[in-house]
Chains A and B, each alone.
Chain A
């Protein structure tokens, strides 16, 4: 299994809907709103980098997601 942390910047009015959508993703272990430079922190476990790319792609497509920063396990 591969761990990853994805940090999101989102449009405030859509934040709740985005967090719900992210938490619905099977591979997500933990996701919460944060203070600081990012709005949402997501921890997930994936099979491999390919699956990570699929999931970060899906997260990027959620309405209101401005940008993501992915930190994949080395």
Chain B
């Protein structure tokens, strides 16, 4: 069952290009772009099995330049 999550990312200052490049490589990341506002980067992540969401998000958190993530997990019916 497909589950999505909107991941809000803060990066070390000036590192959002590096973070965006790294985030794009992660399996499941459908869409990622640097943003203006309270966060630096936003990623739309999709996984086939809810079990994989946790490890995927943890992997995102350890990527180069990423210092903080806030994840909004989809409410699936």
Q: Are B74 and A73 in contact (CB under 8 A)?
A: no
B27-71 near A? 1/0 per residue, CB < 8 Å? 000010111111100101000000000000000000000000011
* Contact between chains at B38 and A69 (CB < 8 Å): yes
Q: How many A-B residue pairs have CB under 8 A?
A: 62
How many positions in chain A have a CB within 8 Å of any CB in the partner chain? 21
Of residues 36 through 74 on chain A, the ones whose CB sits less than 8 Å from some CB of chain B are: 36-38, 41, 43, 69-74
Q: Which of these, B5, B16, B36, contacts A71 with CB under 8 Å?
A: B36
Name the distance in Å between A24's Cβ and chain B's nearest Cβ: 19
20 A-B contact pairs sorted by A residue (CB < 8 Å): A3-B31, A5-B42, A7-B6, A7-B72, A33-B74, A34-B6, A34-B73, A34-B74, A34-B75, A35-B73, A36-B70, A41-B72, A70-B37, A71-B35, A71-B38, A72-B35, A72-B37, A74-B33, A74-B35, A74-B36
Interface residues of A (CB under 8 A from B): 3-5, 7, 29-30, 32-38, 41, 43, 69-74
